[in-house]
Chains A and B, each alone.
Chain A
């Protein structure tokens, strides 16, 4: 049966009695109900495991609670305390650094690699693409422990190499505040860049070739072609990648927790780690919920603004 012979459907009225209406009517009803049933599992889970917890989090954030007994309502005290808490400020600052590293270093690096991989007639493109992606496949714990062994001050391979090359390799990669942040940033780069490259490469390959030919005819140089043809062509993907990296970096937990433990002191502590410590090391569940809520408001707000500005996430 070919689709062309299909009778029209979806008429706004009930339809003339020309045809037996029974099965058609049932079909239409089923067809109206079906999409709701199909999306229902998602919304049930979404309600149970996202909306209710967020609601509970809002309630908890206005209480003081050690995990036992009844939470004691204290209004907005938790938020007032957060505003004065220097380690929360530190965590916000560090998370901001992780966001900046992601958006300003990792994303451009991914674009550069994608651009290189998109070179005409490149051999072994797939080998590069797949290898660069592999860090994303590994557990953060695996990456963290390999890097903490490599960066170890006394025994690590990195310092051993520096000693062999320059005669001085006593750098405390994970113990110096700035270097510790840089080390976490480097692992972020190593882990994420190949993943983001995939998106950019697909986008670059989708830019119509005629535009490049036109630019060439106009005598545009490499840089001009990049800004006038490439960048506008990959705008939607860039938007998606920026928002994804922003959200991922803002809630970073695994890398600082596993590589530096937030240290030295609290110099690499992220907001997610702050929440974890407040709740599970110090049993301040209300305070932790309040900190989580602050992160939520910032991340959700900024990404909604970015989505709106860059117009992503619409139904067709």
Chain B
């Protein structure tokens, strides 16, 4: 045998850092009672600063148009009314906007998660010629500002007849470099080489290994990336703004934008719109917050 030393199965295996779940190992022994009180007071004030605008908007969306700017604002609208919601849903193609936003974001998310996991796996677990340079090319695409491709991409997409939102809102955005980076970091840290070897000996193909061995182990970063990508697609504004001109093909942000820019500043329509628009993202975030917050930090801590 030429290779006397078998490729050492890497024994040192790092488990991913669990940022949120880590026991409170804080540095400061802030034992003093006044210190504690000051800390909680500061954090609570901050909490209110974050929550107040959202609560105000939520509450105002149930107020009659005349009460929206009342001072002092009542937390519980009285009288409360669904009038604003009814006007929005009856007068505007809101559900169209909603459907286009949600479906394009979901499709982009499913594809992106798969593409990123596959590429992240390749960068984490294979040695191949050109890997370093390919990785830096991928990574450096993070620092390309969108403004530079905005105009030429728009021109190319329109000229090639691909400006249909179902193509143009999805396909260009399904391979985010950040996602590949995040996957690569996680796989390096937490997928041991041994299980890949074992699968190879069992005769699995490389793609089979990815699909049946690696992918099931990637649930935390897949969840993180899924939320991240969903938020990005769903909230994106500039690209849909230049791309879509027909009102009933608008995404939610575009729809809210025209309502708000309308001459009579229809804030009684815009507020319920904002509330409804935030439901999917807040829901997705609350459901998958653990994965997202931990997934974001694993990548960066090792970064």
Interface residues of A (CB under 8 A from B): 1-4, 6-13, 15-16, 23, 27, 30-32, 34-39, 41-43, 45-46, 48-50, 52-57, 60, 67, 113, 115-122, 125-143, 145-150, 152, 155-157, 160-161, 164, 190, 194, 198-199, 201-207, 209, 212, 222, 225, 229-230, 236-237, 239-241, 243, 247, 250-251, 253-254, 257-258, 271-272, 275-276, 279-280, 285, 288-289, 291-293, 295-296, 299-300, 303-304, 307, 312-316
Contacts and interface: CB of A to CB of B under 8 A. Distances in A.
B299 to A, nearest CB: 9
Contacts, number: 384
Interface of B: 1-3, 5-7, 9, 17, 19-20, 22, 24-30, 39, 42-43, 46-47, 49-51, 53-54, 56-57, 60, 68-69, 71-73, 115-116, 118-119, 121-124, 126, 128, 131-132, 134-156, 171-172, 174-175, 177, 180-181, 184, 188, 192-195, 197-198, 200-203, 205-207, 210, 231, 234-235, 237-238, 242, 252-253, 256-257, 260, 267, 270-271, 274, 277-278, 281-282, 285-286, 289, 293-294, 296-298, 300-303
Contacts of A161: 71
- A interface: dominant SS: helix
Contacts of A137: 231, 278, 281-282, 285
Contacts of B119: 38-39, 41-42
Contact of A45 (B1, B171, B195): B171
A256 to B, nearest CB: 12
Given A119-B26, A157-B56, 13 more contacts: A3-B198, A8-B5, A8-B6, A45-B115, A45-B174, A57-B151, A60-B152, A139-B277, A142-B277, A145-B267, A201-B297, A247-B142, A253-B147
B72 to A, nearest CB: 7
A34 B144 contact: no
Contacts of B274: 139, 141-142, 145-146
Contacts of A276: 147, 150, 238, 242
A251 B139 contact: no
22 contacts: A1-B202, A3-B192, A8-B3, A38-B119, A39-B123, A42-B115, A42-B175, A46-B137, A49-B171, A53-B149, A56-B152, A60-B152, A131-B47, A138-B281, A202-B298, A206-B17, A276-B147, A279-B151, A295-B148, A313-B139, A315-B132, A315-B184
